[in-house]
Copies of this chain bind each other. A is one copy, B any other.
């Protein structure tokens, strides 16, 4: 099965050293949640996040949500022909159980992921919906064991989505960055066999994901 990895996704629980910041505390109170069980979100916690390490790559759960939907709402995913995996900036990895439907409602998605970070797993009636691990990007790739790792980034060799899909087989792994700005870290880049750029401009991750999976689907299904 083809693998899609969302690398360095902007998805994490509010780190301990920010949990007492006034902007976090007031948001937590309104949400009736504990700061230690809430997702870091730039749109609420901007003041608290100012100047933290890797600031531009963090606190965008909205962007990760839309990117996940671009993958899991495709016929390819419904047919069980692509596995969707999430790697975060903090080296957590999330595995989606077969045919898990991710809620389009953001607050439901956030609730699901917050539960996952708290409990390590989210169980459905019949199967595991989501599973959380502590794993670096190279460890995750080694576990998946793909035939090749194909990355998409503006730093890559120019190619069309059609061209990239033509070199993919069902044991390949596609890597897309699920962060707002910046490039892959060297740890990610070092595990990528071929890096392609699919346009002159910087695409949103969800646009890249929907286009590459669509081209793969046309060719392989």
Contacts and interface: CB of A to CB of B under 8 A. Distances in A.
Interface string A19-57: 000000000001010000000010100000000000000
Contacts of A210: 70, 207, 210-211, 214
Interface stretch (A87-95, A105-113, A128-136, A139-147): A105-113
A58 interface: no
Interface of A: 30, 32, 41, 43, 60, 62-63, 66, 69-70, 73-75, 78, 103-108, 199, 201, 203-204, 206-207, 210-211, 214
A180 to B, nearest CB: 9
- Among A106, A204, A214, the one with the most B-chain Cβ atoms within 10 Å of its Cβ is A106
The 4 A-B pairs of least Cβ separation, nearest first, read A106-B106, A43-B105, A62-B105, A210-B210
Given A75-B199, A211-B214, A62 B104 contact: yes
